[in-house]
Chain A
Amino acid sequence: MTLQTELLFDPLFLTPFLTGLPYALLLPLLGAYLRLKDEWLAALALAQTAAAGALVVLALAWPPAVGGLLGALVAAAGKHGAEGLAPALRGAAYALLLLFGWGVAVLLVANLPVAERLGHALLDGQLYFTGTAELLTALAVLAVAILGVAFLSRALLTAHFFPDHFRARGRSASRAHLLFDLLVAAALGFATMSVGVMAAFALVFVPPFLAFHRAGSWRRGLVYAMGCGLGGYVAAFALALLLDQPFGAVLSLVLAALALLGVLRASAGRSGA
């Protein structure tokens, strides 16, 4: 393993770096609401199903991003349909969705030569193949999703902390939940195409996990999560380039290490108190 410091400043890697930045900010933001709703496992199922969708449409010679988006939206529809189930059954539904997406993706990679390269990119998280189109898509997804979260945040929080609030007024929170699910599906569908399955999931899961432990308020928690996602992403991008390793795996390890440090720090704080 050799350090390739000159790659850090290679213009070739600037566009991939910029492409990942919006997702590094956005996925932790969405992850905070998914964590609140105890639906973080659904994010992994959506990312995996997006990857499967991208590989399926590759066989039809369609653009993978279309398949990724369709796969995530189909998974979101399944997730929304499972919302009437008991919490334990909902978790099982997400797990089954995840297994289904993973199984389809691996079989396509194994049996379809055209899917092999994209399949490895999605599973390894090879951000370096992204270009200007992906960058513009990422910026548009970030803008739409930030506006969407700003619009839906109060309804999502109110529905969580006052479950009968909307019903008591003859209204329903299901429209807000559905819009949020569509937002998450679209963001994860596009993000998975750029950063890969596990990197997208790591950005959804770890920063909010740390933020919920550390932040003093909801607003500060969102900022903390986005900062954590951004810091982890920049560190992982540099490390992956320097060490010539797959980006998705490095990002997952960097964020997992951050989570471990956060847990150890919290444990030390409790035992010292």
Chain B
Amino acid sequence: MSGAQAPSLAPDAVLGGGALLRGDALVAGYDRPVVGPVSFTVAAGEVVGMAGPNGCGKSTLLRALVGAARLFGGRLERAPGLAVSIQNQQQPPLDGVPLTGRELLALTGASPSGLPPWLEHRLDERLDRLSGGQRQYLSLWASLGSDAALVILDEPTNNLDPAGVAHLAEALRTQAAAGRAFLVVSHDADFLACACQRRVAVVPRTGDGA
């Protein structure tokens, strides 16, 4: 895949065992704990999946990793100087905003090179004139093409058709081979099996004192 890029912002150093990010017994939530304890590590060149039932707090955990939700317990270690990119499940509204796919990619410095053919020729159209799957893929590509050494993806296969899912899985594998790390939450077990080297189970938190 020609669009696969090695991260240009490598961290200043890595943690023990080559990890870029390590969570140990993390408990996360907003007003109160909703998920955890969860432990995991992600090293350069790895695609790590997180799976669990709906509502178990996978998205909350991901947001806590970048400070957008609260950590109630556990220990989070991040390699010094690590640049992280996160693709949220909830996208900001695009309707009525005259932004093209090419302009969206330019915001994160992502190159259009390597995009699937069904998107390449629509790059100069407004995003609100594309399908939900096409918008989702462009938004993913903007994260994948950024300079981050670790990319966090929350339900990246939402709205994607089988061709899009296959293209994404291939992109993750290729970019991981080039040294980038991925942490991916998905309810799509087939996608995780195809794209990830390791999987971490996230289970619902039972009871407040759990």
Contacts and interface: CB of A to CB of B under 8 A. Distances in A.
Interface of A: 36, 154, 157-158, 160-165, 167-169, 211-221
Given A216-B98, A221-B98, A158 B103 contact: no
Interface residues of B, number: 28
Interface stretch (B30-38, B82-90, B162-170): B82-90
A212 B97 contact: yes
Interface of B: 63, 66-68, 83-86, 88, 92, 96-100, 102-104, 107-108, 124-126, 139, 142-143, 148, 152
Given A168-B66, A168-B85, A217-B126, A161 B100 contact: no
B96 A216 contact: no
A214 B97 CA distance: 10
A169 B86 CA distance: 10
B92 A160 contact: yes
B96 A161 contact: no
A11 B88 CA distance: 58
Given A167-B67, A169-B83, 8 more contacts: A161-B104, A164-B63, A165-B108, A167-B66, A168-B67, A212-B96, A216-B98, A217-B100
A154 B103 CA distance: 10
A169 B84 contact: yes
22 contacts: A154-B107, A157-B99, A157-B103, A157-B107, A161-B107, A161-B139, A164-B63, A165-B85, A165-B108, A168-B66, A168-B67, A168-B84, A168-B148, A169-B148, A212-B96, A212-B97, A212-B98, A216-B126, A217-B103, A218-B97, A218-B98, A221-B98
Nearest to B100: A217
Nearest to B151: A168
A164 B66 contact: yes
A193 to B, nearest CB: 31
Contacts of A211: 98
Given A161-B92, A212-B97, A221-B98, A167 B68 contact: yes
B129 to A, nearest CB: 9
Q: Which of A157, A164, A214, A215 has the most CB of B within 10 A?
A: A164
Given A162-B142, A163-B88, A220 B98 contact: yes
A216 B100 CA distance: 7
A212 B85 CA distance: 28
Contact of A217 (B67, B124, B139): B124
**A-B complex: 9 closest residue pairs judged by Cβ atoms:** A168-B66, A221-B98, A215-B98, A168-B84, A217-B100, A158-B107, A168-B86, A164-B86, A218-B99
Contacts of B152: 168
Contacts of B148: 168-169
Nearest to B126: A216
A170 B179 CA distance: 22
A268 B67 CA distance: 47
Contacts of B139: 161
B109 to A, nearest CB: 10
Q: Which of A154, A162, A168, A212 has the most CB of B within 10 A?
A: A168
Contact of B103 (A168, A169, A219): A219
A160 B85 CA distance: 15
A113 to B, nearest CB: 47
